[in-house]
Amino acid sequence: MNAVAETPVAPAGEMKTMAAVAQALHDAMADDPSVVVMGEDIGAPGGSFKATRGLLEAYGPQRVIDTPISEASIVSAAVGAALSGLRPVVEIMFMDFVTLAMDALVNQAAKARFMFGGQCSVPMVLRTPHGGGLNAGPQHSQCLEAWLAHVPGLKVVCPSNPGDAYALLRTAIRDPDPVVFVEHKGLYGSKGPVDRAAVATLGTARIVRIVRPGRDATVVTYGATVAASLEAARQLAAEGVEVEVIDLRSLQPWDRATVLGSLARTHRAVVVHEAVQAFGVGAEIAATMADEGFDDLDAPVVRVGAPFMPVPFAKSLEQGYNVGAAGIVAALRRTLE
């Protein structure tokens, strides 16, 4: 089911994204004793970004499980726990390290329901931060979500704000199938409204309003580049150009109905993500627009992503590598021409 959830959401309070993730974990564990969390340093240290702080004291070591430094073992154990009736939430410290767990995630978790004829499910969540901006270098800054969205059986979520981080994580934990929950570490400190009663649906995009519905162009994005896209839209609004920004929130499944509906109104589109542009999520969305939305297009779909190279370590180089408002404005001007 695809339905548009538009901002603003009625808030029940404000918190930072990291706190919203922590609150979602606390609430999920309080509501369901089958929810357990697993990962490196998630107990007494509270996780590398402190998203699991307080869980050990509240729920004990049988539900808050510190693991050895072996991502392959962590995810393999989580798959077994999920098949046995638990709902494990695994934290992989950086998305770069999910490469070490691909067999358990891709060959086991994603395929179990299909291979066993629907007789079992793997209700697990793999939480992991991605993205640059913190000068963490090429092995701690990658955005690898396109790899995972390519795998049948996996769901992939990437929120852009605290409210969605809370609601989507609660939904992911309740889901009967494996969900990769991608958090941008540069957003952990961002603050916004969180409604703990809100219900989110995987596969539902959010149209981010500035003043009114877009008329001239659509920007499709997710995660940290939502803010950059909004800034680009504000800059062009000063020139009388109305841009509609769509926050996908869920990458697999993704809300093609909302995206194609916006394209039918604006007739021009730019797809933006921080990940490397080549063979990325944006390529799939652009291809769908060119196929299913061809009659609505008045200009080619333009993609904005990172260059095809590892993430640089130096701050000056990383600033040039990262996707920002200036590059999105340039892409919008190109499609508006």
Query: Which residues form the catalytic set?
Result: 71, 140
Helices (H), 209-311: 225-237, 256-266, 281-292
Token digits of residue 176: 């009967």
Token digits of residue 275: 């990940």
Taking the C-alpha atoms of residue 123 and residue 104, their distance in angstroms, rounded to an integer, is 14
CA angle 248, 252, 257 (to 5 degrees): 55
- Can you count the helices (H) and strands (E) in the chain? 12, 14
Cβ atoms of 203 and 148 closer than 8 Å = no
Cβ atoms of 151 and 101 closer than 8 Å = no
Close Cβ partners of 172 (under 8 Å, ≥ 6 residues apart): 125, 155, 157, 179, 181, 202
Cβ atoms of 144 and 279 closer than 8 Å = no
The secondary structure of residue 251, as a DSSP letter, is: E
Taking the C-alpha atoms of residue 314 and residue 34, their distance in angstroms, rounded to an integer, is 44
Q: Beta strands 155-157 and 250-252: pairing type?
A: antiparallel
Cβ atoms of 260 and 292 closer than 8 Å = yes
CA angle 196, 19, 221 (to 5 degrees): 80
Q: What is the CA radius of gyration of the chain?
A: 19
Cα dihedral: 37, 43, 49, 51 (round 10): 50
DSSP H/E element including 170: helix 162-174
Q: Beta strands 35-39 and 64-66: pairing type?
A: parallel
